[in-house]
A and B are shown apart, each in its own frame.
Chain A
Amino acid sequence: MSFVPGPLRILLVDDDPNLLVFLGERLRSDGFRVTTARDGQEALRRLEAGWPDLLVVDMMMPRMDGITLARAVKARADLPIIVLSAVDAGDSKAEALEEVAEDYITKPFHYPELRARINRVLRRVGDHLPSATLELGPDLTLDLHRRRAVVGGVEARLTPVESRLLYALAANLGQVVTTDTLLMRGWSETEAPDPSYVWVTMRRLRRKIEPDPDHPTYLETVRGIGYRLNRVASTASG
């Protein structure tokens, strides 16, 4: 993980001025350098002046909505984005949201919850996947931006936590990632995470992506340390 020197910069985009003031104050007091914008177009102008480390954007705004803005930004740079929205998973917009946003938080939220999510997303900034879709073996392909895995030709949906864990593992493909690191990537502080979450989620993940969950080949346990994601050579027998 590489740390950017100086305070981390956040661009905050919301059409509610009260929220901008409140969030701006809290984030500044937590040591971030914050710029704000009232809508998508203003946000794009602000981006031209300089790129922040993180974008926090409201989904519903006049003129240009949050998803359109997030798409425009993602088309230019891989900037982490957190979307604030009044809708949750299951809404028709949620799918689109998942593709452009690293994370989203449902309104109304508590500031500590947002702060925890920001921390979690920024922890991931140093992680880079070799490619958008990752072919790990003859029967496993990961498409983490869409939170999907293709297992033996069948598509399996990944939960946000599962895809965050796989992201951290895939960014360190073939290397051990400690249980503590996975805990920080998968869950935020407000969820009072415990290593047992990682263990159980790994078991559940194996049921989803391993051809034989009892004898895992892709998702390997390194006893007492953590987990490792492997690329599996295709066997001659196919």
Chain B
Amino acid sequence: MRSLPLRARILAALAVVAVVPLALFGLIVLFQASLALGQRQADDLAALTRLAARQTVSVGVNPAAAAPLAELTARRVTLFRLDGTVVATSDPDRRAAPPPENLRAGDPPRVVSGGGSVAAYQVVADGTRSLGIVALAEDAPTAPQVIPGLAGALAAAIILGAFLSFALARSLVRPARELTATLERLHAGDLAVRMPVEGDDELARLAESHNRLADALTARNRSLGLVLHAVAQLSPRDGLGPLVEAAQRAAMEAFGFTGARVVLDPSGDGLGEPPEKVPGEAYEVRVPLTLGSERIGTLVATQVPTRDWSAADADLAALFGSQLAVAVRNAELFAAVESLSELKSDFLRGVSHNLQTPLTSIRAFADQLAAETDDRRLDIIVEQTDRLSRLVAQLLTVAKLEAGTLRPEVDVFPIGPLLQRVWESLGRTDHAFRLRDETAGWLAAADRDWVEQVAWALLDNALKYGGDGAIEVSVRLEDGSGEPVARLVTTVRDHGAGIPPGAEERVFERFSRLGRGGGDGTGLGLNVARGLVEGMGGRLWFERPAGPGAAFSFSLPAERIEEA
């Protein structure tokens, strides 16, 4: 059914719809006709019977009378006596049934049907007395017997019609339903669905048309995907050259160009007029690279002759062009920033190298001499060289903290010995120093060099601003703060002037010296120390001790010593 063209299906449906009333109408007509026919037959038979009765009066009810009457009326004739016995009959096999009981002379012929035949009876009377009864019979009309057959046929026609109608309706509705379902899936974004194309009718063409639409959408989607993929490849970090190369490759891939080059010429004048498009030959496509309203260049590409360049393609290309323009601009800015940043790094590296290298020599030789001769002045050279190196390193650390490029190399070590070593490197054996370490069984997990720098900065500060009182350093395990990571807290306490109220946070600002010591110090120590401690996942803070002086504490992640 479905392979039938839609037109044929509609015709068939109409035909089925027409057949049922037609059949019904025909049946009614036939029934009416057969009724009329039966009535007429009865009338005829009655008329002939009246004629036969009159003839019989003259002939008399005798055995020889039947045959001529039959000949005259062309019916089967039977003559009965009044008591109903047969006198004569023209057809002994199929004679009429015995006459009805209450038949009286002078009555019109009585028509009786039954047993497959119709018979008319009349009393033969010559005015005064009844002679007998004449009966004419013939086969019952065929029409009424046809009716049950016709009714069956009609029922069959109705059932068939209903079935056909249902099937046709289904076959008509199904493609429409499928079309709707398919379109719904398409709306939902499933571009893979296709309508089955069967035959060559309107629905088939509709399906084809839908499939073409889906194909076009899929192709467009694919191009869009390629373009987005191409855009994703535009990384400004790689620099302008690689970016342009990547963009050309990406454009060829996304749009099927056989060639593509990026011309970074804002005016686009250098390109001249685009060449005329010749049918059957590869043609040039130009995509402006625009940044808002500003044009920074053009993508000049060659397209194969077999591929159309539709308005939709142009839209996608414009999108690609604007993304490329953004990437190009970013690459230019990025390169500028990179080179500045690299310049700064190079400068700092150079400064550091040129200061540290001679310091290394000075220190090395002073060390060597100190080992050979017992001269306190050599120790001072060593100490002061160290100090200078630390300050240079501090400057560099500031720059790196600013750039966010610092990364600790975490090692595990006991913090007490490190503090002791740093104190000794300061060479102030004349100053009172007390170290209380309560962290036996624990190691700090931090960058050794950084912790040294932090400890040096805090101890150096304590010496500078702490007056003559003892410097007290304590290391303890941080009280259970509910954190999963254990921490060691180191506190450096001096007995100097302390920090004025309200300036507790200001001491951590860069170049802040709070006017103490008259220009002594760089004002970087605490700032750098805090940056380093925070970089290792710890904290550095000021505490106002009971009594005179200042106390600075820093916490560092810790690990319990256990054989593992």
Report the minimal beta-carbon distance from A87 to chain B, rounded to whole angstroms.
6
Q: Could you tell me if A200 and B364 are in contact, using CB atoms closer than 8 angstroms? A: no
- Please report the C-alpha to C-alpha distance between residue A85 and residue B363 in the assembled complex, in whole angstroms: 16
Q: Could you tell me if A92 and B365 are in contact, using CB atoms closer than 8 angstroms? A: no
Contact of B156 with A by CB under 8 A: no
Report the minimal beta-carbon distance from A12 to chain B, rounded to whole angstroms.
13
Tell me the B355-369 residues at the A interface (CB within 8 Å): 355-361, 363-365, 367-368
Contact of B402 with A by CB under 8 A: no
Contact of A175 with B by CB under 8 A: no
Tell me the B391-412 residues at the A interface (CB within 8 Å): 393, 396, 400, 405-412
Report the minimal beta-carbon distance from B385 to chain A, rounded to whole angstroms.
7
Q: Could you tell me if B443 and A196 are in contact, using CB atoms closer than 8 angstroms? A: yes
- Please report the C-alpha to C-alpha distance between residue A91 and residue B364 in the assembled complex, in whole angstroms: 25
Contacts of A200 in B (CB 8 A): 412, 443, 445, 559-562, 564
Contacts of B562 in A (CB 8 A): 199-200, 203
Most buried by A among B357, B360, B449, B562: B360
Q: Choose among B386, B409, B445 the residue that contacts A204 (Cβ–Cβ < 8 A).
A: B445
Tell me the A81-118 residues at the B interface (CB within 8 Å): 85-93, 106-111
Q: Could you tell me if A19 and B350 are in contact, using CB atoms closer than 8 angstroms? A: no
Q: Could you tell me if B349 and A87 are in contact, using CB atoms closer than 8 angstroms? A: yes
Given A60-B350, A60-B353, A108-B356, A22 and B563 contact (CB-CB distance below 8 Å): no
Q: Could you tell me if B357 and A19 are in contact, using CB atoms closer than 8 angstroms? A: yes
Contacts of A85 in B (CB 8 A): 353
Given A60-B350, A200-B412, A202-B564, A90 and B400 contact (CB-CB distance below 8 Å): yes
The residue of chain B having its C-beta at the shortest distance from the C-beta of A88 within the complex is B449
Q: Give chain B's interface residue range (CB within 8 Å of chain A).
A: 35 or more
Q: Could you tell me if A86 and B559 are in contact, using CB atoms closer than 8 angstroms? A: no
Given A86-B357, A88-B449, A204 and B364 contact (CB-CB distance below 8 Å): no
Report the minimal beta-carbon distance from B99 to chain A, rounded to whole angstroms.
108
Q: Could you tell me if A111 and B357 are in contact, using CB atoms closer than 8 angstroms? A: no
Contact of B545 with A by CB under 8 A: no
Tell me the A171-225 residues at the B interface (CB within 8 Å): 191-192, 194, 196-197, 199-204, 206, 221
The residue of chain B having its C-beta at the shortest distance from the C-beta of A22 within the complex is B364
Q: Could you tell me if A19 and B410 are in contact, using CB atoms closer than 8 angstroms? A: no
Contact of A52 with B by CB under 8 A: no
Contacts of A90 in B (CB 8 A): 400, 405-407
Contact of A160 with B by CB under 8 A: yes
Report the minimal beta-carbon distance from A192 to chain B, rounded to whole angstroms.
6
- Please report the C-alpha to C-alpha distance between residue A86 and residue B395 in the assembled complex, in whole angstroms: 13
Q: Could you tell me if B561 and A92 are in contact, using CB atoms closer than 8 angstroms? A: no
- Please report the C-alpha to C-alpha distance between residue A72 and residue B342 in the assembled complex, in whole angstroms: 24
Given A18-B365, A111-B364, A161-B411, A199 and B449 contact (CB-CB distance below 8 Å): no
The residue of chain A having its C-beta at the shortest distance from the C-beta of B425 within the complex is A110
Contacts of B405 in A (CB 8 A): 90-92
Q: Choose among A22, A194, A221 the residue that contacts B361 (Cβ–Cβ < 8 A).
A: A22
Tell me the B196-219 residues at the A interface (CB within 8 Å): none
Q: Could you tell me if A221 and B449 are in contact, using CB atoms closer than 8 angstroms? A: no
Contact of B427 with A by CB under 8 A: no
Task: How many A-B residue pairs have C-beta atoms within 8 angstroms? Tell me.
Answer: 112
0/1 string, A68-89, CB within 8 A of B gives 1? 0000000000000000011111
Contact of A16 with B by CB under 8 A: yes
Tell me the A1-50 residues at the B interface (CB within 8 Å): 16, 18-19, 22-23, 26
- Please report the C-alpha to C-alpha distance between residue A78 and residue B563 in the assembled complex, in whole angstroms: 35
- Chain B interface mostly: helix
Contact of A159 with B by CB under 8 A: yes
Q: Choose among A108, A192, A221 the residue that contacts B389 (Cβ–Cβ < 8 A).
A: A108
Q: Could you tell me if B361 and A16 are in contact, using CB atoms closer than 8 angstroms? A: yes
- Please report the C-alpha to C-alpha distance between residue A60 and residue B358 in the assembled complex, in whole angstroms: 13
- Please report the C-alpha to C-alpha distance between residue A200 and residue B563 in the assembled complex, in whole angstroms: 7
Contacts of A111 in B (CB 8 A): 364, 367
Q: Could you tell me if A203 and B564 are in contact, using CB atoms closer than 8 angstroms? A: yes
Contacts of B408 in A (CB 8 A): 89
Contacts of B449 in A (CB 8 A): 88, 106
Contacts of A87 in B (CB 8 A): 349, 352, 396
The residue of chain B having its C-beta at the shortest distance from the C-beta of A15 within the complex is B357
The residue of chain A having its C-beta at the shortest distance from the C-beta of B396 within the complex is A87
Contacts of A197 in B (CB 8 A): 411-413, 443
The residue of chain B having its C-beta at the shortest distance from the C-beta of A187 within the complex is B411
Contact of B345 with A by CB under 8 A: yes
Q: Could you tell me if A22 and B352 are in contact, using CB atoms closer than 8 angstroms? A: no
Tell me the B338-383 residues at the A interface (CB within 8 Å): 342, 345, 349-350, 352-353, 355-361, 363-365, 367-368
Q: Choose among B359, B407, B414 the residue that contacts A108 (Cβ–Cβ < 8 A).
A: B359
- Please report the C-alpha to C-alpha distance between residue A59 and residue B352 in the assembled complex, in whole angstroms: 12
0/1 string, B64-103, CB within 8 A of A gives 1? 0000000000000000000000000000000000000000
Q: Choose among B356, B365, B367 the residue that contacts A107 (Cβ–Cβ < 8 A).
A: B356
- Please report the C-alpha to C-alpha distance between residue A161 and residue B361 in the assembled complex, in whole angstroms: 28
Report the minimal beta-carbon distance from A225 to chain B, rounded to whole angstroms.
11
Report the minimal beta-carbon distance from A115 to chain B, rounded to whole angstroms.
12
Report the minimal beta-carbon distance from B411 to chain A, rounded to whole angstroms.
5
Contact of B417 with A by CB under 8 A: yes
- Please report the C-alpha to C-alpha distance between residue A19 and residue B393 in the assembled complex, in whole angstroms: 20
Report the minimal beta-carbon distance from B514 to chain A, rounded to whole angstroms.
29
Q: Could you tell me if A159 and B409 are in contact, using CB atoms closer than 8 angstroms? A: yes
Q: Could you tell me if B561 and A108 are in contact, using CB atoms closer than 8 angstroms? A: no
- Please report the C-alpha to C-alpha distance between residue A111 and residue B382 in the assembled complex, in whole angstroms: 13
Q: Could you tell me if B368 and A22 are in contact, using CB atoms closer than 8 angstroms? A: yes
- Please report the C-alpha to C-alpha distance between residue A107 and residue B385 in the assembled complex, in whole angstroms: 12
The residue of chain B having its C-beta at the shortest distance from the C-beta of A89 within the complex is B409
Most buried by B among A23, A91, A106, A160: A91
Most buried by A among B356, B386, B405, B414: B356
A-B contact pairs, 30 of them (CB 8 A): A18-B358, A18-B365, A19-B360, A19-B364, A22-B361, A22-B368, A59-B353, A60-B349, A85-B353, A86-B355, A87-B396, A90-B407, A91-B400, A106-B449, A107-B356, A107-B389, A108-B356, A108-B359, A108-B363, A109-B360, A159-B409, A196-B561, A199-B564, A200-B560, A201-B411, A203-B559, A203-B564, A204-B412, A204-B445, A221-B563
Given contacts A87-B352, A199-B563, 6 further A-B contacts (CB under 8 A): A16-B358, A22-B365, A87-B349, A192-B417, A197-B412, A201-B412
Q: Which 7 A-B pairs have the closest CB atoms?
A: A108-B360, A18-B361, A90-B406, A107-B356, A203-B564, A86-B352, A86-B356
Q: Which residues of B contact A (CB under 8 A)?
A: 342, 345, 349-350, 352-353, 355-361, 363-365, 367-368, 385-386, 389, 393, 396, 400, 405-414, 417, 443, 445, 447-449, 559-564
Q: Which residues of A contact B (CB under 8 A)?
A: 16, 18-19, 22-23, 26, 58-60, 85-93, 106-111, 159-161, 191-192, 194, 196-197, 199-204, 206, 221
